[in-house]
């Protein structure tokens, strides 16, 4: 045991009337919502990188956190970090966690040494997981932080970097399967360009498509039953990343024959950077059949970069879960808190409280979303708005051609009158639940 979380008791559900900041007020894992336990709906996960690997820096300043496992360059410190992580998992009681390889092991002087360190810490994880209910939602490879990735990983102009990337992903997929991970994520942090003056975009996209096909082939080769996920992000650090948003990713998957093999891990902060709302990205992925999992956080609307703050806006969260529930809910995916403390929030208690608040916000959002679905008001409004398409005439038009439609309009039978979209009424409706 470490002393980092000393005197912080396991978090309990105390209900909405409680004033205890270190208790759940809305998240009750056993509460049944739409016929399913709340824990099974939300499938919470803690992000190892932001909670334990991040040191409190920002684009204008360095480390502010001083943790017992710093510096993170030695195996003994990696194990202290793991000890603290699993102590936090015990305190919060969430069912899952997630990691990048570089979060959990120190970088070695060679690929072989880094792999040795990685396998040692995976052994350590496996031992700790054997005595707990905690599971792995997904693993992934960090192919953006080290200087070798400065020009991308699978899209790098140097074929040796492509090879290093492939070997790195193989080791992370092996570890994910070994720990019973339910998904494997690829986030192309530097799969994009800073200037087209030195970029062959077509070649890079082809290499990225081939790389992802290699990943899918390896998934089947080793019998990994989880879902392969890619994570959209429009910019930062690259000027333009190839996985800009959900629609862009779907087009990419279609081009390279992967739309039936790969789904999306969507992040609220990335949606904002793309100029979208989170519910837009979720609804887009659901409509295209590629909704997989979510990273739950938020961005500062006044900042132009990815601030990764814990969620605190119930209406936004409720609409996000509304579209997730409409799509049938999560299967292998879940709600990963890809969120980090503010760099002034130095204490262990801050880290626990941030997750408690985030879990409560998601629970409130989920219950509001479920109530809206059970009430049926939004669905009824949609049915009424599109009711004309259920007529025999409209169905015949869709099955017809331009000439027949032109003839119908010219006959005078068709003279459309605008109808209200009732946006304000529907916004008021949503506010009744949140």
Find, among 331, 338, 322, 257, the residue nearest to 283 by Cα. Answer: 322
Query: CA–CA separation, 269 vs 247, rounded Å?
Result: 16
DSSP letter (8 states) at residue 166: H
Torsion on CA atoms 397, 402, 405, 410, rounded to nearest 10: 170
Which residues neighbour 68 within 8 Å (Cβ) at sequence distance 6 or greater? 2, 3, 4, 80, 84
Catalytic residue flag (residue 103): yes
The answer for residues whose C-beta is within 8 angstroms of residue 22's C-beta and 6 or more apart is 8, 9, 11, 349, 352, 353, 356
Q: Tokens at residue 84, please?
A: 């603290």
Picking from 200, 199, 187, 202, the residue whose alpha carbon sits closest to that of residue 236 is 187
Name the catalytic one among 101, 103, 306, 308.
Answer: 103
Neighbours of 166 (CB within 10 A): 15
Cβ-in-10-Å burial (0-12, 13-18, 19+) of 414 comes to exposed
Alpha-carbon span 102 to 141, nearest angstrom:
7
Cα distances (angstroms) measured from residue 285 to each of 11, 145, 321: 34, 28, 13
Q: Is 158 a residue of the active site?
A: no
* Distance, CA of 18 to CA of 399 (rounded, Å): 59
Determine how β-strand 32-33 pairs with β-strand 36-37: antiparallel
**Angle (deg, nearest 10), helices 314-326 and 348-375:** 50
Environment class of 412 (CB within 10 Å of its CB; exposed 0-12, middle 13-18, buried 19+): exposed
384: number of CA atoms within 13 Å, CB side?
11
Q: Which of 25, 50, 100, 270 is catalytic?
A: 100
Note whether 53 and 97 are within 8 A (CB): no
Contact 102, 146 (CB under 8 A): yes
SS3 326: helix
Q: Any idea which residues carry the catalytic annotation?
A: 100, 103
């Amino acid at each position: 045991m470490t002393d980092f979380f000393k005197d912080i008791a396991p978090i309990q559900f105390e209900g909405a009337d409680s004033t205890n900041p270190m208790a759940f007020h809305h998240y009750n894992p056993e509460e049944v919502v739409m016929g399913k336990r709340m824990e099974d709906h939300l499938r919470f996960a803690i992000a190892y990188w932001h909670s334990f690997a991040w040191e409190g820096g920002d684009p204008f300043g360095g480390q502010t956190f001083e943790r017992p496992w710093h510096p993170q360059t030695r195996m003994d410190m990696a194990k202290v970090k793991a000890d603290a992580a699993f102590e936090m998992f015990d305190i919060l009681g969430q069912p899952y966690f997630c990691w990048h390889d570089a979060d959990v092991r120190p970088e070695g002087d060679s690929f072989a040494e880094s792999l040795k360190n990685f396998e040692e810490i995976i052994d350590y994880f496996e031992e700790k997981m054997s005595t707990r209910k905690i599971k792995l939602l997904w693993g992934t490879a960090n192919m953006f932080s080290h200087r070798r990735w400065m020009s991308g990983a699978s899209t790098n102009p140097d074929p040796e970097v492509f090879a290093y990337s492939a070997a790195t992903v193989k080791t992370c997929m092996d570890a994910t399967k070994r720990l019973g991970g339910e998904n494997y994520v690829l986030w192309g942090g530097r799969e994009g360009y800073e200037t087209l003056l030195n970029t062959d975009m077509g070649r890079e996209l082809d290499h990225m498509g081939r790389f992802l096909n290699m990943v899918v082939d390896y998934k089947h080769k080793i019998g990994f039953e989880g879902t392969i996920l890619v994570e959209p992000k429009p910019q930062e650090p690259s000027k333009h990343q190839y996985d800009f948003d959900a629609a862009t990713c779907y087009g990419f998957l279609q081009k390279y024959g992967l739309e039936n093999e790969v789904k999306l891990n969507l992040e609220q902060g990335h949606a904002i950077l793309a100029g979208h709302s989170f519910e837009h990205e979720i609804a887009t992925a659901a409509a295209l059949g590629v909704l997989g999992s979510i990273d739950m956080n938020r961005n500062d609307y006044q900042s132009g970069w990815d601030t990764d703050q814990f969620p605190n806006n119930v209406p936004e969260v409720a609409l996000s879960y509304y579209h997730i529930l409409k799509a049938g809910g999560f299967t292998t995916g879940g709600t990963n808190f890809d969120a980090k403390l503010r760099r002034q929030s130095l204490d262990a208690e801050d880290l626990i409280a941030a997750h408690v608040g985030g879990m409560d916000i998601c629970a409130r959002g989920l219950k509001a979303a479920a109530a809206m679905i059970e009430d049926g008001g939004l669905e009824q409004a949609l049915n009424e708005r599109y009711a004309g398409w259920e007529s025999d005439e409209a169905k015949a038009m869709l099955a017809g051609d331009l000439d027949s439609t032109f003839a119908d309009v010219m006959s005078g039978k068709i003279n459309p009158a605008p109808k209200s979209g009732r946006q304000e009424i529907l916004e008021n409706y949503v506010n009744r639940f949140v």
